[in-house]
Amino acid sequence: MSARISRRFFAYCMDFMVVFFLVQAVWVASESMVYLFEWPFELRRYVLSSLQEMEWPLLIGGLMAYFFHANYFMEGKSLGGLFFDLVAREKGGQALSAKQSLARSAVLGLLPLVLSHIISSFLLLIPFVRKDKRGLADILSFSQSYEGDIPLFPRVETIPPVLTEVPSPSSEDRELPEEREEEEEKKAA
């Protein structure tokens, strides 16, 4: 009997999180190794930027290796599959061959990359589909983007009057602090 989609989805999410945290642990460990050595600044910056570029390939490779291991060596049982009582088998019930395990792991490994591109493309196409031409940011913030009608810097119609007379300071402001202290001492005495 075929497994329900909800169980398969949650099992995949669980497997994805396991691999994601393992890849992140490897990435953090390799990044901290860079800071252990006294490398010139430019070399350190180059290595760190190279590590950032390797995050997606590491995740995809980790997912493919994880699912191949689970499908071929563990007889179709991944951690998520064990938790949700799922097993990957052929239609006849036999264990998957190496070729089938490799194909299955390639699909499951590339799934996050494909889904992220599909979702981002869909989100970019939202303004073209809607009648009011609102994008995701407009929808979530209950706003609307306008074109050309509203100036970037509103024109100031009235210029504030220029201050022609400088107000004269009061007599207290003209006194020096020493004079104030002397006057306060006289008043106190």
Distance of CA 59 to CAs 9, 21, 105, 131, Å? Answer: 18, 10, 13, 39
Coil vs helix vs strand at 169: coil
Higher pLDDT, 170 or 96: 96
- Entry pTM: 0.61
Residue 37 clears pLDDT 80, i.e. is over it: no
Model pLDDT, residue 1: 58
Distance of CA 33 to CAs 37, 41, 43, Å? Answer: 7, 15, 13
Model pLDDT, residue 149: 59
Q: Choose the weakest-confidence range: 14-23, 133-142, 150-159, 178-187.
A: 150-159
Q: CA-to-CA distance for 55 and 27, rounded, in angstroms?
A: 7
Of residues 161, 18, 127, the one with CA closest to residue 81: 18
Q: What are the tens digits of pLDDT across the range 60-107?
A: 999 999 999 998 998 888 898 888 888 888 888 888 888 988 998 998
Of residues 88, 63, 62, the one with CA closest to residue 73: 88
